[in-house]
């Protein structure tokens, strides 16, 4: 078999495998890929080139590390879906950049996020004046979620509980305490925070979704 034909066949096989892997990563936009997804994708791309171009490397040897990376990525992703603390370690946490109309310079320094970055993302969203912003959250993806100041600012809400974990920073923003939250939930019959999938509070009303039984049993 000629060398060109071998390379063509290897290219087809590797293409199918990499395409299948990307399909299993889930439907995400490029800007929403986690750090884990990006690292694994770059490593697979490099290994795929070796598997295609190096005739001295058998297909089995060339594909083995790719399959290993796929298994690692899927395993870590599954764990992160079930454990928010693990997800925070792997993907990072959303960070408040603008809080109550003021820039949180401490968080900006920690994230190596400068004023030009803030102003650029504000302009992208059609906001010319930073004074129009009440809250801005730097998401895991690197995008900035912006909440403008409104005459009725009480419409702004943040999740207080996600995946059974209290969001302390969000409580601080809403000027509520952990003790207040636990007390209010107890009044509504929720004694176990870990059983709550999502909880938000707006205009004196709670919105609560419990974890489904399948998730709680795992």
Output the six-digit token pair for 202. Answer: 């707006």
Closest CA to 88 of 149, 155, 36: 36
pLDDT digits (tens, 9 = 90+) for 97-122: 998 888 888 998 888 988 888 889 98
* Banded pLDDT at 214 (limits 50, 70, 90): very low
Question: Is residue 183 predicted with pLDDT exceeding 80?
Answer: yes
Q: In this predicted structure, what is the pLDDT of residue 85?
A: 82
User: Could you tell me the two tokens for 150?
Assistant: 């409104």
Dmax (CA) for the chain in angstroms is: 75
In the chain, domain spans: 3-89, 93-153, 157-216
**Same fold: 93-153 with 157-216:** yes
Question: Given pLDDT bands bounded at 50, 70 and 90, which one contains residue 153?
Answer: very low
215 pLDDT more than 70: no
6-31 pLDDT, tens per residue? 888 888 988 888 788 777 666 555 55
Asked: is 157-216 a CATH 3.40.50.1100 domain? The reply is no
CATH number, span 93-153: 3.30.240.20
What is the H or E stretch that residue 177 is in? Answer: none
Q: Give residue 173's Cα distance to chain centre.
A: 21
Task: State how far the Cα of 60 lies from the Cα of 67, in Å rounded to an integer.
Answer: 10
What pLDDT is attached to residue 67? 87
Confidence of residue 217 (pLDDT cuts 50, 70, 90): very low
Confidence of residue 184 (pLDDT cuts 50, 70, 90): very high
Q: What is the pLDDT of residue 31?
A: 56
Can you give the pTM of this predicted structure?
0.55
Residue 7 confidence (pLDDT): 83
């Amino acid at each position: 078999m000629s060398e060109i034909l071998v390379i063509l066949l290897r290219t087809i096989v590797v293409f199918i495998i990499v395409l299948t892997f990307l399909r299993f990563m889930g439907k995400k936009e490029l800007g929403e890929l986690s750090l884990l997804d990006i690292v694994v994708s770059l490593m697979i791309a490099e290994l795929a080139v070796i598997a295609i171009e190096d005739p001295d490397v058998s297909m089995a040897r060339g594909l083995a590390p790719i399959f290993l990376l796929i298994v690692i990525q899927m395993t870590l992703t599954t764990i992160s879906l079930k454990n928010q603390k693990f997800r925070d370690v792997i993907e990072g946490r959303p960070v408040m950049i603008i809080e109550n109309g003021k820039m949180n310079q401490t968080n900006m320094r920690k994230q190596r996020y400068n004023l030009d970055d803030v102003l650029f993302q504000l302009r992208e969203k059609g906001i010319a004046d930073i004074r129009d912003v009440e809250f801005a959250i730097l998401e895991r993806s690197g995008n900035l979620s912006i909440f403008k100041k409104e005459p009725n600012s009480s419409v702004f809400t943040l999740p207080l509980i996600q995946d059974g974990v209290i969001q302390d920073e969000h409580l601080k923003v809403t000027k509520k305490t952990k003790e207040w939250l636990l007390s209010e939930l107890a009044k509504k019959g929720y004694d176990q925070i870990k059983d709550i999938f999502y909880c938000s509070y707006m205009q004196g009303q709670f919105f609560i979704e419990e974890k489904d039984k399948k998730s709680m049993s795992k």
